[in-house]
Structures are given as C-alpha cells and as structure tokens.
C-alpha cells in the first residue's frame, strides 16, 4: 500500500500537522483502513475512495483508534498532494465528499509550486458545556484564574472551547489524558480546545492548543476542523469584526508552537456583524516522504 506523509499548515517539513494520505483506497474495507492508520501513526490518515472527478473527491478519515467524519489538516494534505501529482489543477474549485457531508474546496496558487487549499468547514451548534469547568481545568493542568471570563465556554461538535487570558498559561498546560478522556466520554466529548487572544504574531487573532484524548490523540498540533468553528465563535463575539452590511474577513490562527511544530491556519469568515454565516479554513502543505506500507 502506497502511503504519503504530508505536513499541513506549513511549508517546513517537521512543522505543522502531519497526515498520512492513501491516494488509492478504493476497495479497502473499514478494518484495513483502521489498521493502516494505526500503522502510519499520524493523528489522522485520509483515504481517497474516489476521484478526482466532476463529482469531486471522496475521503474517509481515521485516527490511530477510530474513524472521524472530517479532518481539516488531512484534507489540506490530500488536496495538496493531488495538485502536486498533477491529478488536480493548482487552482480552481472542486468538492469534498465525506461523512460530514459535501463541502466546497478551492485551490489557489501559492508560491512557485504549491497550492493553498480552502475548505468550507462543517457547522455545528454552539451549546453550553456539559461538563463543569471546575472539573475540566484540573485535568488539563489549568486553574480558574487562567480563563478569559470576557468570552464564553462552549461545546461545539465533540469539543469544548475554552478561552484563556495569557499565552504563557496556555503553554503551561499538561493534561492527564486518561483521566480527561474518562471525564468527557459520557458526555460525547472527545477533547478540549484552548485558545488565547495573546498571540505570538501581530497578524494573528488567536493562539491555540487542542487536547483530544477521546480519539487517542494526546495533543493535535494544528487543527483545521477546530479553527473554522473558532473563526465563527470569534466573529459572533465581535473579536473578528464583520461589516454591518455583510462581507468577508480573513484572520490567522496559530497552533503547534508549544509542541515545537508551529503551523498557521488562515480563516475566512463571511456574514454580518455579530451574525457569521460561513467559515473557510485555508492552508498550505509540504510532502515529506512517500513509501510502501506492508501491513
């Protein structure tokens, strides 16, 4: 089985978020894909089941322990690789078919050889946290005084989104993964996404870390599927300011720095002030190596 290893949200090998990509996965059953993902050992591996074609590209995603419905960095990695191989144009619109639904994808030329991949991220409702923060914080290594109380703590899909005041507090976190997974599992939550507006770079809007023990991932380096919803959250809270008459605003989210794997996710939010309607994430990638896996 031919497998490519691609680092997404960076153009520096070893930085960003690493994904496995299997371009020819037609005919593989779920058990085999799960075994391949476990052997590859990246936080997610994407499997191309069909395409590219007029209908787009059909993908499935597996962590080392389970299947998930969508993965941002593995999607960026896959479409980067398809364009690099000449299987897709370096710029243009297409579609992604996955368990999360049909999502719009656009490639735009980035640099001499690469492409930036833009993906409309799935929307999920924003809900009150089902787990008291007083129980969550000790298990991620934080304290209540670290939380930015000017912003709400919410649940979005299978993650909790928790705002912190200072970047140094975000960097200091050291979760107890087993205990955290046990606490969250009964509520259908797999991870905690922590962010702060105290960024490293002046052009960024947030700096984040994501702990996902419920999916077998102690910490995900750079998470596109969380960055898109974070863009919507920040626009709804007025941190990202949309025009009152409606429009589009782009921002940048930092992640991975605390792990020594810095990545940068572009986020595009459209809608009216206080009422965002859609988010896209954008990122570049670099192919690190390719090889033959013998399960």
Confidence of residue 164 (pLDDT cuts 50, 70, 90): very high
How far lies 158's CA from each of 123, 130, 188, in Å? 12, 11, 6
CATH class of 2-121+283-292: alpha beta
The pLDDT confidence band at residue 161, using thresholds 50, 70 and 90, is very high
Average pLDDT over residues 31-57: 93
Q: What is the pLDDT of residues 201-230, one digit of tens each?
A: 999 999 999 999 998 889 999 999 899 999
d(CA 249, CA 162): 23
CATH among 3.40.30.10, 3.40.630.10, 3.10.310.10, 3.40.630.30 for 126-282: 3.10.310.10
Identify the three-state secondary structure at position 61.
strand
- Give CA–CA dist 264/116, Å, rounded: 12
C-alpha to C-alpha distance for 72 and 67, rounded to whole angstroms: 14
Q: Indicate the domain borders of the chain.
A: 2-121+283-292, 126-282
Residue 208, CA atoms < 13 Å, CB-side half-sphere = 33
* Residues annotated as catalytic (active site), given as ranges: 44
Closest alpha carbon to 212 in 183, 192, 184? 192
Domains 2-121+283-292 and 126-282 in one fold: yes
Average pLDDT over residues 154-160: 95
CA–CA separation, 106 and 124 (whole Å): 22
């Amino acid at each position: 089985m031919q497998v490519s290893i691609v680092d997404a949200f960076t153009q520096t090998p070893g930085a960003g978020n690493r994904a496995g990509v299997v371009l020819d996965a037609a005919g593989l059953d779920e058990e085999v894909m799960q075994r391949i993902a476990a052997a590859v050992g990246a936080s997610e591996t994407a499997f191309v089941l069909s395409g590219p074609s007029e209908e787009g590209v059909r993908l499935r995603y597996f962590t080392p322990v389970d299947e998930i419905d969508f993965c941002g960095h593995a999607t960026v990695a896959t479409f980067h690789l398809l364009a690099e191989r000449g299987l897709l144009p370096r710029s243009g619109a297409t579609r992604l078919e996955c368990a999360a639904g049909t999502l719009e994808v656009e490639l735009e030329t980035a640099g001499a050889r690469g492409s930036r991949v833009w993906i409309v991220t799935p929307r999920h409702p924003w809900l009150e946290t089902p787990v008291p923060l007083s129980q969550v914080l000790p298990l991620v290594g934080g304290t209540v005084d670290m939380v930015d109380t000017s912003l709400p703590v919410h649940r979005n899909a299978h993650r909790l989104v928790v705002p912190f005041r200072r970047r140094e507090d975000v960097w200091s976190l050291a979760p107890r993964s087993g205990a955290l997974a046990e606490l969250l599992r009964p509520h259908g939550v797999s991870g905690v996404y922590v962010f702060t507006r105290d960024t490293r770079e002046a052009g960024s809007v947030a700096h984040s870390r994501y702990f996902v023990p419920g999916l077998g991932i102690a910490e995900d380096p750079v998470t596109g599927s969380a960055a898109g919803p974070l863009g919507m959250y920040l626009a709804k809270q007025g941190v990202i300011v949309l025009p009152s008459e409606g429009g589009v605003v782009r921002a940048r989210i930092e992640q991975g720095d605390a792990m020594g794997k810095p990545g940068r996710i572009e986020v595009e939010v459209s809608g009216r002030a206080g009422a965002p309607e859609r988010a896209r994430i954008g990122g570049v990638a670099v192919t690190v190596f390719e090889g033959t896996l013998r399960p």
